[in-house]
Amino acid sequence: MSAGQDSPASPKRRWFLKTAVAIGVVGGALGGGMWWNRGFDKGRLTPAGEKVFRGVARGVLAQMLPAGVERDRILNEHMQDLERLYNNLPSAKRDQINLVASLLANAPTRYLAVGLWTSWDEASDEQIQQVLRSMQMSEHLVPNVLFSAVRALTTLCFFSQPTHWNLTGYPGPMSI
């Protein structure tokens, strides 16, 4: 090679560039998928968000929910209650809930975060309960935080409705 000619790229440099491009593509795809399948849009649950929160409710509230049509009615009401709760929170909390829902709505990020490849609406109640248990008992921070967030939202929203108290055997507050 002459003195004015550049040397060919080294193998390390090529590997670094290929790796950087691959990470960028994967990161962009995951981020785009999370934006596309976000949990809420303009204060309303998206179909993806509803699948997540309905699935979590099936897992968290399984022992308290009746079977059949009554169960579907209660879960539908729960989704409406969740939207009301969401819309009454500060915008920073809404953003966090939306991020959690997006993470759990997309198959790749859901699998990486909690180990569930199957969508929430296709998973059985037992599968969902097993995933929730593994999230709760995980030694890693992300599944623990996700479990705490979705369980807290579900229970706060569900048990704040007096019409659900009889499903748990709670008669309501005592008269003083």
Q: What is the pLDDT of residues 142-164, one digit of tens each?
A: 899 999 999 999 999 999 999 88
Q: How far is CA 18 from CA 13, 25, 31, 86, in A?
A: 9, 11, 20, 42
Residues 6+ apart with CB under 8 A from 111: 117
- Kindly state the percentage of the chain with pLDDT values over 90: 47
pLDDT tens per residue, range 32-48: 545 556 677 888 889 99
Q: Residue range 101-129: average pLDDT?
A: 90
Tokens 């097993």 map to which residue?
130
Q: Where are the domains of the chain?
A: 51-164
Query: pTM for the whole thing?
Result: 0.76
Give pLDDT tens digits for 8-40.
Answer: 556 676 666 666 655 554 555 455 545 556 677
More confident residue, 54 or 39: 54
